């Protein structure tokens, strides 16, 4: 059983789209998605530096575009789809909930709204690695921080004001390390409330279809079978914690035996290697990874050709 997963913000690196643009049809797809997003995605994915693509308004559409084009190149038909944070929009498009164009327009609006919300207060995020999860969450609560990403595999991301994060750096949970993250705000917290309002208005005009593939939600790890419910969760997710730990729990309960992470892959398969021992994983970083990914998908019954046979 195969699950296709899409990474969230922070996975992007300078020039990571360059090798993908050598594939037939990719330039045309990016041109159309650039129009929907109001950004030159080919430029940002090939020539922009790390600071430019760290910008929330750029990073989010760039990641969704990369996920969609690499999934199309892979050609797999997975048993489940899921994404981390903005990767949930990629997953929604792969499941047929949103058209690719609507997904790109929604992502661009999300990135702009979250950037605007982040500009109001000096906020950020830090990864907390190790420690007892319950004790870590209690410690964050004591400091006024939000466990914005509960990722499993001993990783929780704290979000809040600069002052609160400084207090965390000075007063770490027992047995844990704290690593500041290079992000522009306290995503998945109440600091993003204004972005939720913007997306609620936009979502009212989206044409959402019911998922054609089982779609695992960040909110609680549940499989959501209503397109309207998926869109509602995409909106609410901006200010609510990402429960990737519960998503991986669902993978395990459903008997997933393989995970392929679309471009720019690496983060989510890293978590899976620690949390889901025995599950085979593969990260799509460049087109050079496609042959191995297709072979894994075919072995697990995850390609249209394999299923037809």
Residue 39 has pLDDT above 80, yes or no: yes
Between residues 183 and 230, which one has the greater pLDDT? 230
Residue 309 has pLDDT above 70, yes or no: no
What was the pLDDT predicted at 286?
Answer: 97
What was the pLDDT predicted at 261?
Answer: 98
Catalytic residue selected from 34, 188, 191, 217: 188
pLDDT tens-digit series, residues 114-170: 999 999 999 999 999 999 999 999 999 999 999 999 999 999 999 999 999 999 999
Percentage of the chain surpassing pLDDT 90?
96
Residue 303 has pLDDT above 60, yes or no: no
CA atoms within 13 A on the CB side of 89: 32
Distance in angstroms (rounded) separating the CA atoms of residues 207 and 111 = 20
What was the pLDDT predicted at 201?
Answer: 95
Minimum mean pLDDT range among 23-32, 187-196, 294-303: 294-303
Distance in angstroms (rounded) separating the CA atoms of residues 196 and 236 = 6
pTM for the structure as a whole: 0.94
What was the pLDDT predicted at 302?
Answer: 61
Residue 308 has pLDDT above 60, yes or no: no
Helix, strand or coil, per DSSP, at residue 254? coil
pLDDT tens-digit series, residues 210-260: 999 999 999 999 999 999 999 999 999 999 999 999 999 999 999 999 999
Distance in angstroms (rounded) separating the CA atoms of residues 57 and 189 = 18
Q: Which string of b and e fits 259-290 if b means at least 16 CB within 10 Å?
A: bbbbbbbebbbbbbeebbeebbbbbbbbbebe
Helix segments in 25-99, DSSP class H: 26-37, 41-46, 50-54, 56-74, 87-94
Q: Is 77 a catalytic residue?
A: no
Looking at residues 80-100, what average pLDDT do you find? Answer: 98
Q: Is 85 a catalytic residue?
A: yes
pLDDT tens-digit series, residues 260-288: 999 999 999 999 999 999 999 999 999 99
Distance in angstroms (rounded) separating the CA atoms of residues 268 and 17 = 19
Phi and psi at residue 78, to the nearest 5°: -75, 170
Looking at residues 90-104, what average pLDDT do you find? Answer: 98
Catalytic residue selected from 85, 126, 217, 263: 85
- Angle, helices 100-118/87-94, rounded to nearest 10 degrees: 170
Tell me if 65 sits within 8 A of 104, measured CB to CB: yes
Distance in angstroms (rounded) separating the CA atoms of residues 243 and 245 = 5
Distance in angstroms (rounded) separating the CA atoms of residues 42 and 27 = 8
What was the pLDDT predicted at 184?
Answer: 82
Residue 305 has pLDDT above 80, yes or no: no
Domains and CATH numbers, the chain: 2-118+189-308 (3.40.366.10), 123-180 (3.30.70.250)
Residue 307 has pLDDT above 50, yes or no: no
Confidence of residue 179 (pLDDT cuts 50, 70, 90): very high
Nearest to 140 by CA among 153, 127, 151: 127
What was the pLDDT predicted at 304?
Answer: 41
Residue 182 has pLDDT above 90, yes or no: no
Between residues 294 and 304, which one has the greater pLDDT? 294
Looking at residues 193-212, what average pLDDT do you find? Answer: 96
Mean pLDDT of the chain: 95
Q: How far is CA 109 from CA 28, 50, 164, 195, in A?
A: 22, 21, 28, 9
């Amino acid at each position: 059983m195969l699950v296709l997963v899409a990474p969230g913000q922070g996975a992007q690196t300078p020039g990571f789209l360059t090798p993908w643009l050598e594939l037939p049809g990719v330039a045309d797809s990016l041109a159309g998605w650039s129009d929907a997003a109001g950004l030159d995605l080919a430029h940002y994915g090939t020539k922009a530096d790390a600071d430019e693509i760290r910008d929330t308004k750029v990073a989010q559409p760039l990641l969704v575009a990369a996920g969609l084009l690499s999934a199309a190149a892979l050609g797999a038909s997975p048993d489940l789809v899921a994404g981390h944070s903005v990767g949930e929009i990629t997953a929604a498009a792969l499941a047929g909930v949103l058209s690719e164009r609507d997904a790109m327009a929604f992502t661009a609006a999300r990135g702009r709204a979250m950037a605007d919300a982040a500009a109001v207060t000096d906020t950020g995020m830090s990864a907390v690695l190790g420690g007892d999860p319950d004790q870590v969450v209690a410690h964050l609560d004591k400091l006024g921080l939000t466990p914005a990403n509960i990722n499993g595999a001993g990783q929780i991301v704290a979000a809040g004001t600069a002052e609160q994060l400084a207090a965390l750096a000075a007063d770490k949970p027992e047995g844990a390390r704290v690593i500041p993250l290079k992000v522009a705000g306290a995503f998945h917290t109440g600091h993003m409330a204004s972005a939720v309002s913007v997306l609620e208005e936009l979502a009212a005009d989206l044409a959402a279809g019911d998922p054609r593939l089982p779609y695992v939600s960040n909110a609680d790890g549940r499989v959501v079978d209503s397109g309207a419910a998926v869109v509602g969760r995409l909106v609410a997710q901006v200010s609510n914690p990402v429960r990737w730990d519960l998503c991986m729990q669902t993978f395990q309960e459903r008997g997933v035996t393989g995970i392929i992470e679309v471009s720019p892959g690496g983060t989510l398969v890293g978590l899976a290697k620690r949390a889901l021992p025995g599950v085979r994983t593969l990260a799509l970083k460049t087109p050079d990874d496609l042959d191995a990914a297709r072979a894994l998908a075919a072995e697990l019954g995850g390609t249209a050709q394999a299923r037809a046979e």
